[in-house]
Amino acid sequence: MDIKRVTIDDRIDDFINTEFSNYAIDCDVALKYEEFCFAAEENGKIAGVITGHAYYNEVRIGDLIVGKEFRRYGVGSKLVAAVEDAYKGKGYEKIAITTFGFQAPEFYKKLGYELEFVREDADPKLKKYFYLKKI
């Protein structure tokens, strides 16, 4: 058996999706897997993007990125709200997100996310915060 680093192409993606789905079925768990990406645009320019995926009964926000010139104008809040609205009432119970100390730990508190725990790090900027919000 050879193990090597690969690019995720259609063949690899199909394998992941098939095996992931089959395992959930074998375990009698509803998968409901989907990836998402929402973008905020202002005058044709991308102001911010939020990505992630939903599966089982949970939505996971992967990345929330707001362009420097659009920060502090509510773009991030609107993107998070778009995800919440998209999945509320559709069988998902919670939204989970992680953020580092140098990113936005206080931002998620303001949006009603509860801190589950903090993974400490020698560098305080790299402390990892785990948040959850029931929807």
Which range, of 9-13, 52-56, 65-69, averages the lowest pLDDT?
9-13
Full-model pTM: 0.88
* Whole-number Å distance between alpha carbons of 10 and 8: 7
pLDDT in tens, 5-50: 989 899 998 998 899 889 999 999 988 889 999 999 999 999 999 9
φ, ψ (nearest 5 deg) of residue 22: -60, -40
Q: In degrees, to the nearest 5, what angle opens at C-alpha 109 toward C-alphas 105 and 111?
A: 120
pLDDT of residue 120: 98
Asked if pLDDT for residue 78 goes beyond 90, the answer is yes
- State yes or no: pLDDT of 77 exceeds 90: yes
Q: What is the CA radius of gyration of the chain?
A: 17
Give the Cα separation of 61 and 76 in Å (integer).
Answer: 12
Domain boundaries, the chain: 30-134
DSSP 133: E
Q: Tokens in use for 50?
A: 């939020």
Distance of alpha carbon 58 from alpha carbon 132, whole angstroms: 10
CATH number of 30-134: 3.40.630.30
First-last CA distance in the chain: 44
Query: Which alpha helices (H) appear in 27-121, and where do they start and end?
Result: 75-87, 105-110
C-alpha to C-alpha distance for 40 and 38, rounded to whole angstroms: 7
| Residue from 82, 1, 88, 84 nearest 39 by CA | 82
